[in-house]
């Protein structure tokens, strides 16, 4: 046979060669560790649907943050799990609420060695599990919710968060939060908008992690998974309102959207490798159906290849160590 002069396998013949010509490279500093802190715990509590992930006590959260720094992880995103819930989610704005004190704990532990981020949403704090307060007929009230988000954002900024993650998908939330931060002097606090956040079946394990009280679903405010172009409208609006970074969530089922957003966006683009993605890989690896490390790194590489400059992943510490070892 006569072969063409160009043999593409030449650049695949050894690990060193493949590394030399790799188009996509994972970075430990681009990884963000989502972490849960639960009020009243004296020791960590395992999350059944997310093997290896736990609800932290305040002390174990500080240790986890220090471990992330030592592994070279770039950031940590904090979620609070209160003991009590109510219709208004009042624990979210209480300076002594679990999320706000945890922000202060982590900031005191790691200072500026890790970007300390926090979730701006009411779903962990309400007794109905929705991301906002409800009208008398059970519909999420967008504008009343924005008033609470503004208070919540200021409380988190005052607790020491470097960057806030508004994830409730209320119209206008970035503008309202940005204005509240500016008016209270928190001009350096960043906003990482959950711009293209889809209603997904893969959030199930997360709801266990935050002890969600959800009744019904969130399809009236989270995006319809059937829509692609709409994501660009969401991103455009959030950037115009003052977002410093934007996000696509979930990552796995929206790599096409992530590529669109990465090409379109004028600000850095993140993606959230969510709880269901984590649970599926861990479950398959536990049964010996796939290789755990290789599968995790392949999944993270695909998200990076699609255009993410940062990735929220529950494997942040493991992956960061593997990357640094390599």
Distance CA 147, CA 85 (A): 19
Q: Return all residues near 70 (Cβ < 8 A) that are at least 6 apart.
A: none
Annotation says 169 is catalytic: no
Pairing of strands 269-272, 190-197: unpaired
Give the DSSP letter of residue 138: S
Beta bridge partners of 140: 134
Distance CA 198, CA 272 (A): 11
DSSP secondary structure letters along 64-124 = HHHHHHHHT--EEEEEEE-S--BTT-GGGT-TTSHHHHHHHHHHHHHTTSSEEEEEE-STT
- 3-class SS of residue 221: coil
Residue 80, Cβ density class (10 Å: 0-12 exposed, 13-18 middle, ≥19 buried): buried
Instruction: Catalytic residue, from 84, 169, 215, 249: name it.
Output: 249
Distance CA 145, CA 150 (A): 9
Q: Chain centroid to CA 28: how far?
A: 16
Let me know: does 310 contact 245? Beta carbons within 8 Å: yes
- 3-class SS of residue 315: coil
Q: Chain centroid to CA 243: how far?
A: 15
What would the two tokens of residue 288 be?
A: 């010996």
Instruction: Catalytic residue, from 45, 84, 169, 197: name it.
Output: 197
What would the two tokens of residue 305 be?
A: 């290849």
Annotation says 62 is catalytic: no
Catalytic positions are 197, 249
């Amino acid at each position: 046979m006569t072969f063409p002069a160009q043999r593409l396998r030449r650049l695949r013949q050894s690990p060193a060669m493949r590394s030399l010509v790799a188009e996509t490279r994972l970075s430990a500093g681009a990884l963000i560790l989502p972490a849960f802190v639960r009020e009243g715990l004296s020791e960590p509590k395992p999350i059944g649907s997310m093997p290896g992930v736990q609800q932290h006590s305040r002390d174990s959260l500080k240790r986890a943050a220090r471990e992330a720094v030592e592994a070279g992880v770039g950031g940590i995103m904090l979620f609070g799990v209160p003991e009590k819930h109510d219709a208004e989610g009042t624990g979210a704005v209480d300076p002594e609420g679990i999320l706000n004190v945890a922000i202060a704990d982590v900031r005191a532990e790691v200072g500026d060695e890790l970007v300390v981020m926090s979730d701006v949403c009411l779903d962990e704090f309400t007794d109905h599990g929705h991301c906002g307060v409800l009208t008398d007929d059970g519909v999420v009230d967008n504008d009343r919710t924005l008033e609470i988000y503004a208070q919540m954002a200021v409380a988190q900024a005052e607790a020491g968060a470097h960057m806030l993650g508004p994830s409730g998908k209320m119209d206008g939330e970035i503008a309202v939060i940005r204005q509240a931060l500016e008016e209270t002097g928190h001009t350096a606090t960043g906003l990482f908008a959950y711009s293209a956040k889809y209603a997904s079946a893969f959030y199930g394990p997360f709801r266990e992690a935050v002890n969600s009280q959800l009744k019904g679903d969130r399809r009236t405010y989270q995006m319809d998974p059937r829509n692609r172009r709409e994501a660009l409208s969401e991103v455009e609006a959030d950037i115009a309102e003052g977002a410093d970074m934007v996000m696509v969530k979930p990552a796995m089922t929206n790599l096409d959207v992530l590529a669109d957003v990465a090409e379109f966006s004028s600000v850095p683009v993140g993606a959230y490798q969510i709880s269901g993605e984590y649970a599926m890989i861990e479950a398959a690896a536990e049964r010996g159906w796939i290789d755990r490390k290789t599968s995790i790194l392949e999944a993270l590489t695909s998200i990076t290849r699609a255009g993410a400059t940062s990735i929220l992943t529950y494997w942040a510490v493991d992956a960061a160590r593997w990357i640094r070892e390599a």
